[in-house]
Amino acid sequence: MGYYTPFIAPKGKDGGVDIIAYLDPLGAQTPRIKVQVKHKPETAIGASDIRALLGVLRAGDIALFVTSGTFSPDAKNTGTSSREFIRLIDGDEFIDMWQEYYDKMSDDDKNMLPLKRISFLGNNE
């Protein structure tokens, strides 16, 4: 998507932020984007996880919370009622975005979740 990501947390404790992204290579332009990622395909993310991410924001920050699963109704409510900007991206939306931006990604990024195009024979009706 054209963002610079100088910080991607290693596996393990990360202080609530997995990725920090910037609009420019120096990180001088706002907003700074703080991203929390949870791989919980069978579990809905709760409101406490959303509040934890909102708690690490500073002036000029916005938040993205990405999950391979879904968000509970309370989590969605917490996100929409927050004074700070937070975008909740569930597993389905993440896959849609991955497909949309896939051709623009570096080979290293594509290798994290490779896609293979499949064509089907159609008819002229």
pLDDT in tens, 35-92: 999 999 999 999 999 999 999 999 989 999 999 999 999 999 999 999 999 999 999 9
Cα separation, 48 vs 85, whole angstroms = 16
Beta bridge partners of 65: 36, 88
Which residues are within 8 A (CB) of 37 and not within 5 positions of it... i.e. 6 or more apart?
18, 19, 66, 67
pTM score, whole prediction? 0.85
The secondary structure element, H or E, covering residue 109 is: helix 107-112
Extents of the domains making up the chain:
4-9+23-106
Mean pLDDT for the stretch of residues 28-32: 90
**CA geometry: angle at 120 spanning 118 and 122, to 5°?**
155
What span, in angstroms and rounded, lies between the C-alpha atoms of 79 and 63? 10
Query: What is the CATH T-level fold of the domain 4-9+23-106, as seen in this structure?
Result: Trna Endonuclease; Chain: A, domain 1 (3.40.1350)
- Residue 65 near residue 94, CB atoms below 8 Å: no
Q: What is the pLDDT of residue 34?
A: 95
For residue 112, what pLDDT is reported?
Answer: 86
Is the predicted pLDDT of residue 14 greater than 70, yes or no?
no
Rounded Cα distance between 47 and 11, Å, is 23
